Structure 1
Amino acid sequence: MTEPFPRLSLDAPIVQRLLPRLTEIAEIAMADTVAAVPAYAHIPPEILAEEILPAVVQVCAGFVKSFIAEGSLDPAEVEAIVEYATRRAEEMIPFETLASALFSGTRRIWRIVAASARPEDTADLAAFGDQLIEYIELLSTAMTQTYVDVQETIFGPANEARRRLAAALLCGDDVGDLPSNAGIILHERYRVLALSTTARPSTTADAVETVLTRRRVRDAQRIAENYARVPVLTTFDGHSGVLLLPIEPDDETDLLVDGIAKLLNDNLFAGESEPAVIAALPKAAVEAAEVAALARQLGRPPGLYRIDDMLLEYQVTRPGTARDRISRKLDPVREQPHLLEALHSHIRHGLDRKSAADELHIHPNTFSYRLRRVAELTGIDPAEPAGSRLLAASLTISQAFPGH
């Protein structure tokens, strides 16, 4: 039986030469991995720099610490490995790619260390290689288990059934066995949260865009489930979609929307419905999406909106003869932007003409003249309460439906 190599300590010269170069070696190993593993070329540069490089540095540092801990992984190292493997699994990076990256980087590190060895380091180099293999075995075992667990959790039959269940509920279709297949007990009521980001999805099947989109989907679902404390049914595709929240309204939904927006690093408009029974979910989803879209069209800031936040605006923008006739009230001034600008400012500032004029950087008399021209051309006096309301409604329709 072959005798085991004696374990090295941090004092070994070959280890001491390694320590000052940990970050440099990690950067070289990562660059070699990206070049050697084609799938890694599709990972966005920001993920390489902000996630993968720090993980490689931590792995290198963990290996150095293993000289003290006799080859074991401490909890912090295990947590870092689990997080790294979880992210790659969520991005649907094939496991063979993950394994290739690990061993490609390890091979590069071994070659760097071997190249720095001196004749008197022969025994230490052999022991170093033995400990490196032992450490990589621990890493690969932890990564494999994590990857299998995440794949089953995210992409297993139950999760596919949940996506199909959400789509069926929002379409009003018969859900059949989908709830049991998804491991879900349907609630009596759900609040619909319709999400829409300002970023436009890519129109090409770009590998980098695919990775980022998968991450956006998982980040949104993760924070929603942390908020709801139960599995959340969703159709969110990374840019738009719906969350079904099986909880009663509270004051924290805006925190959920803010949290998702921060994770996505994107502006987010959200429309929230009142709690709806299963049969009413399709209608609630349409209403929630319309509220979010209307807030965006009217130039409101990103955030959470409910129909009570814009009752008048929502009603006057519904299709119908009245909407069309109200919209046409502004036809005589549509080609005169200075008059429309004055009318907008008048509506915002009410009777405070000085503030309205100051906003436009014009004299109050000039502002008053422009309002009189609006009255002359449209036949509606913005200085009268009834006229002001009618013109405000027409402006709202124009903002919601440009060119209407």
Structure 2
Amino acid sequence: MWSRLLNEPRAQNNEFIEILSKKGISVEKGVQTVIIGSQNGRGKNTDPTAMLSLASRLRYVMPNHLQIEKSPHELVLILSSHGQEKMDNTAWLSVVEKIISQNAGYVMAIGPTVNKVYDVPESYKIAGNCLALWQDAPGSPILRYDEMLAELAMIDGVGSMSASLLIDRVLGEFNETGPLNSLYETAVTISKMNDINEAALQLHVHPNTIRYRLRRIMEITGMNLSSPRDCRIFSQAVFFKEMRDVLRKS
């Protein structure tokens, strides 16, 4: 069933929907894919009983979920993202983080919420890429896709779900032709030039106007374009948006 869904995501998957329904999970209301993997790397031998023991401990604190034992080193969970949770999202995640931290050698990656069956494989793919990124630069044992969108979009490409999520997250508050147009224009300019005075010359405004707009941009989006990382992420989101627009017109 799981292999068929991954290989033919747009085929009729009534069996998968029915199994989820029996678990109290509605795809239409939103599901997330979570991967619990070994820190030794996906595909490497680990103790399968240890993985199952960990899953058993998590069962009582996580939202309604379907457990898929993909391999001895990788456990896939399909979680309910709407209602019927035993705890609210923040509470269960903090408990899970504590449990994972107590089990050295394991890491958990959380994919985005989707509400179409054919998008479940994409959520799984994004969670898997979170694991791959973690193995390149280990950190927290809980990997949240929304904290890694810039890196995920680079892996998945322009037409991917992660690129769309990055665009929505960074640029969602802007409208190029609306009242925030001047802020968007300023943000794009500063992300390319990374210099307030040069941006002011380019936009024919005073540098203090640029500084004011940067403060407004931070208030609206949370992006601090004085930070090299945020500036890079914003520039990346703009690039993906421009490329997506080109592809849609072609």
Coarse TM-score class (shorter-chain normalised): 0.3 to 0.5
Query: What TM-score does the superposition give when structure 2 sets the normalisation length?
Result: 0.47
Where relative contact order (Cα < 8 A, 6+ residues apart) is larger, the structure is 2
In proportion to residue count, which structure has more helix?
A: 1
Bigger radius of gyration, 1 or 2? Answer: 1
Query: What TM-score does the superposition give when structure 1 sets the normalisation length?
Result: 0.31
